[in-house]
């Protein structure tokens, strides 16, 4: 199975990968990764992660093509890889309006903020029909990443994001899957839409970005908070305050690889095998024993994703 190429891969070529850390004693899942944008190949990514106690991996789609790839990869690695499928919020305005639509503020970057060519999109209904079909597969455990991202998107784009988010919530509920949320500078809107639509039984905030108050709201609602490598950054004290508030039974860990490489390797290519750095930092932040937190995280992934 060919691995998808992308700018993130090319930009990281030639960089020395961080060394393999000391293994975790209690295995945990990487709740969100993009192996199609990483080097080396899938088999090595899985094996290196497993060697340090990171298993299984949740491979996440950001458009219909990458969602299909995620589902195919999960099917080819039963138990070691599971899939999440969706249109990323930054894809939704393009599907609805197309690149450069008159009067619509849609930037010329892709879901990760990288420049991309335009044109050639199916309608939102066609795209979501494909996501709906994939969500029915047993090795697809979540609908995501979906949600809201107002960092770059103008008002018309935000309306397209909201429509897409609502329809992804419906897909998740109909198939009994978790919804995996991308929330960037849109906390109030995301919480409002979940309340209006009625949240699925399992809600996961990928790469949790809220403060302590947001963490309290999520805890009250029983939403899982997945922390990535940015919780280790020196500038992320507000995020660490949120992590302190988050109940252990609602905490997940992820890489979002190849992005958000944890300290002390920030700026170098990220991969699932680096989860131990994030988990150990999170345990220190929460004042918990490493094995205690790892046990909670492993149990949480089983509950959140039904794996």
176-223: pLDDT as tens digits: 999 999 999 999 999 999 999 999 999 999 999 999 999 999 999 999
pLDDT of residue 158 exceeding 70, the answer is yes
DSSP 3-state of 85:
strand
What residue segments make up the domains of the chain, in order of their start? Answer: 32-305
What pLDDT score does 122 carry? 61
Which region, left, alpha or beta, applies to residue 287 given φ > 0 means left and ψ of -120 to 50 means alpha?
A: left
Cβ neighbors of 116 (< 8 A, separation 6 or more) are 108, 109, 110
3-state secondary structure 247-265: CHHHEEECCCCCCCCCCCC
What pLDDT score does 99 carry? 56
Structural fold of domain 32-305: TIM Barrel (3.20.20)
User: What is the C-alpha to C-alpha distance for residues 247 and 257, in angstroms, rounded to an integer?
Assistant: 25
Give 88-146 pLDDT, tens digit per residue: 999 988 887 665 432 234 444 444 444 333 433 468 889 999 999 999 999 999 999 99
- pTM reported for the whole predicted model: 0.89
What pLDDT score does 98 carry? 64
User: What is the C-alpha to C-alpha distance for residues 295 and 300, in angstroms, rounded to an integer?
Assistant: 9
User: What is the C-alpha to C-alpha distance for residues 90 and 107, in angstroms, rounded to an integer?
Assistant: 9
| Phi and psi torsions of 58, nearest 5° | -100, 110
Lowest mean pLDDT among 129-138, 146-155, 221-230, 242-251: 146-155
* Helix (H) or strand (E) run with residue 147 in it: strand 140-149
DSSP 3-state of 291:
helix
Q: Where are the alpha helices (DSSP H) in the chain?
A: 7-12, 42-51, 64-76, 92-97, 124-135, 155-175, 187-197, 212-221, 237-245, 275-286, 290-305
Mean pLDDT value across residues 282-301: 98
């Amino acid at each position: 199975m060919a691995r998808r190429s992308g700018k993130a891969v090319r930009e990281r070529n030639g960089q020395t990968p961080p060394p393999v850390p000391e293994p975790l004693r209690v295995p945990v899942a990487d709740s969100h990764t993009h192996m199609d944008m990483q080097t080396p190949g899938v088999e090595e990514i899985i094996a290196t992660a497993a060697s340090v106690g990171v298993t299984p991996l949740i491979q996440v789609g950001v458009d219909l093509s990458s969602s299909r790839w995620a589902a195919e990869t999960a099917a080819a690695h039963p138990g070691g890889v599971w899939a999440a499928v969706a249109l990323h919020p930054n894809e939704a305005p393009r599907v609805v309006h197309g690149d450069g639509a008159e009067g619509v503020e849609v930037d010329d970057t892709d879901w990760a903020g990288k420049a991309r060519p335009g044109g050639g999109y199916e309608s939102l209904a066609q795209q979501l029909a494909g996501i709906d079909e994939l969500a029915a597969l047993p090795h697809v455990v979540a609908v995501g990443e979906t949600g809201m991202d107002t960092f770059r998107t103008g008002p018309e784009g935000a309306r397209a994001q909201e429509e897409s988010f609502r329809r992804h919530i419906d897909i998740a509920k109909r198939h009994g899957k978790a919804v995996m949320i991308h929330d960037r500078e849109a906390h109030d809107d995301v919480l409002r839409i979940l309340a209006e639509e009625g949240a699925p039984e399992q809600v996961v905030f990928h790469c949790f970005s809220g403060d302590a108050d947001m963490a309290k709201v999520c805890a009250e609602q029983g939403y899982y908070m997945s922390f990535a490598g940015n919780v280790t950054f020196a500038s992320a004290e507000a995020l660490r305050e949120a992590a302190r508030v988050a109940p252990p039974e609602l905490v997940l860990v992820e890489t979002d690889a190849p992005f958000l490489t944890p300290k002390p390797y920030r700026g170098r290519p990220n991969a699932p095998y680096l989860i131990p750095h994030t988990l150990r930092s999170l345990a220190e932040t929460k004042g918990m024993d490493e094995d205690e937190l790892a046990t909670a995280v492993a149990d949480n992934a089983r509950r959140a994703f039904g794996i």
